[in-house]
């Protein structure tokens, strides 16, 4: 039986719609986390085959490149809007988002070498498979509440508080950091 792990299309929103881009990134994060979960199940059934190596490569690429940019977008533009609020709940939300980002980074630092070894062809079985599964599930579980908090509270509240000038600056910064030249 051939197992395929489909790729992930880019979010449809452009840099002129930065909040929609952030939401689109959450869809990609979730699809990549689903891929990681399927990878763990695949390893348990089929071992470290070419399909597993390819899936590990896709997960590594997303969480090494796109996800750190996404967190930086939030920390540079979304978090300050929440911190500037007079609402204590929003200030606490900003601090929670920052703390979540640090926890996610720590979890990725533990998971990444395991995926790298798999991508590089190391057999993943026994203790190595158990470690990968444990770290993968921890990483996956950190994201659920974090994304819900951002989508349900942080993004809508930041969007209410941002000025058109700040939105333009946010758009320009997001594009520039990704090497996209805009007119």
Residues 21-47 have pLDDT tens digits of: 999 999 999 999 999 999 999 999 998
pLDDT of residue 12: 55
In angstroms, the CA 66 to CA 178 distance is 9
* CA 133 from centroid of its chain's CA atoms: 18
**Structural domain boundaries in the chain:** 18-177
The answer to whether 162 touches 81, Cβ cutoff 8 Å, is: yes
CATH topology for 18-177 is 1.20.120
Q: Supply the pTM of this predicted model.
A: 0.88
């Amino acid at each position: 039986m051939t197992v395929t792990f489909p790729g992930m299309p880019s979010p449809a929103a452009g840099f002129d719609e930065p909040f929609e881009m952030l939401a689109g990134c959450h869809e990609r994060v979730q699809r990549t986390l689903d891929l990681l979960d399927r990878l763990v199940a695949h390893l348990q059934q089929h071992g470290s085959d070419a399909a597993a190596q390819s899936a590990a490569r896709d997960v590594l690429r997303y969480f090494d490149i796109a996800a750190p940019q996404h967190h930086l977008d939030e920390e540079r533009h979304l978090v300050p809007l929440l911190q500037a609020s007079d609402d204590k709940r929003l200030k606490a939300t900003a601090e929670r988002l920052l703390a979540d980002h640090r926890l996610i980074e720590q979890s990725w630092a533990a998971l990444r070498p395991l995926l790298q070894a798999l991508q590089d062809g190391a057999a993943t079985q026994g203790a190595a498979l158990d470690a990968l599964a444990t770290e993968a599930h921890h990483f996956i579980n950190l994201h659920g509440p974090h994304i819900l908090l951002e989508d349900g509270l942080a993004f809508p509240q930041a969007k209410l508080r941002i000025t058109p000038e700040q939105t333009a600056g946010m758009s320009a910064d997001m594009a520039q950091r990704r090497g996209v030249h805009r007119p």
